[in-house]
């Protein structure tokens, strides 16, 4: 009988100790609202700027406003969906000269750790894969807020999360285009990326 109570006490103690840790392992999942989210970019052309977007992307986001450091981000971008408004230029961007979408159909970002920098800004550190290169990047992500969805009849019990991220990469480090085009003054090396997302929690 003593052994039974000893086993029971140990089991209960284990549950008490394990439950908080298990609860901290994951954060609530959010669904990307594709109608209100964009993945955009901008690069210098001679002395101007050419903007564009990737029209197709998906992802998985875990975010807890009370513990943002436990957040996780996994984003897949369809390389072939690049769109600048000029069909000939878009086809060139899809070619082996730039994104080589036949061989590398996706741009991938996978977070590794998250920490709060200042106020509503988080720093998301993760691996970015473009073409055949995977490199660690630091992405500042501003939390714009969390609100109840205003269309309660169509979206009952739904929360909305707003995120904004802006960062830059060197295209040459990811084998996108050649160095000579910068040397000729045709285009810059720096690609500015902007991600605006609304996410839903139903």
pLDDT at residue 10, rounded to an integer: 45
How crowded is the C-beta side of 129, counted as CA atoms within 13 Å? 15
Q: Which CATH architecture has domain 26-201?
A: Beta Barrel (2.40)
pLDDT in tens, the chain (202 residues): 444 344 333 443 444 444 444 444 678 999 999 999 999 999 999 999 999 999 999 999 999 988 999 999 999 999 999 999 999 999 999 999 999 999 999 999 999 999 998 889 999 999 999 999 999 999 999 999 999 999 988 989 999 999 999 999 999 999 999 999 999 999 999 999 999 999 999 8
pLDDT at residue 119, rounded to an integer: 85
Q: Where are the domains of the chain?
A: 26-201
Query: What does the block give as tokens for 114?
Result: 């998250």
Name the pTM for this structure. Answer: 0.84
CB atoms within 10 A of CB 151: 9
In whole angstroms, what is the distance from residue 18 CA to residue 8 CA?
A: 15
> For residue 72, which of 105, 113, 101, 37 has the smallest C-alpha distance?
113
3-state helix, strand, coil in the chain (%, to 5): 25, 50, 25
DSSP 100: -
């Amino acid at each position: 009988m003593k052994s039974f109570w000893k086993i029971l006490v140990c089991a209960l103690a284990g549950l008490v100790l394990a439950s908080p840790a298990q609860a901290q392992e994951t954060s609530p999942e959010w669904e990307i609202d594709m109608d209100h989210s964009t993945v955009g970019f901008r690069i210098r052309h001679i002395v101007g700027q050419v903007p564009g977007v990737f029209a197709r992307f998906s992802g998985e986001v875990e975010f807890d406003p009370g513990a943002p450091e436990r957040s996780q981000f996994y984003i897949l971008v369809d390389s072939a969906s690049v769109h600048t408004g000029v069909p000939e230029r878009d086809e060139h961007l899809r070619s082996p000269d730039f994104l080589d979408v036949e061989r590398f159909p996706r741009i991938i970002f996978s977070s590794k750790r998250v920490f709060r920098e200042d106020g509503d800004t988080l720093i998301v550190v993760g691996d970015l894969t473009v073409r055949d290169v995977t490199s660690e990047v630091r992405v500042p992500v501003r939390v714009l807020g969390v609100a109840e969805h205003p269309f309660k009849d169509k979206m009952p019990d739904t929360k909305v999360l707003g995120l904004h991220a802006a960062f830059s990469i060197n295209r040459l480090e990811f084998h996108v285009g050649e160095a000579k085009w910068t040397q000729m003054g045709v285009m810059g090396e720096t690609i500015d990326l902007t991600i605006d997302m609304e996410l839903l929690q139903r």
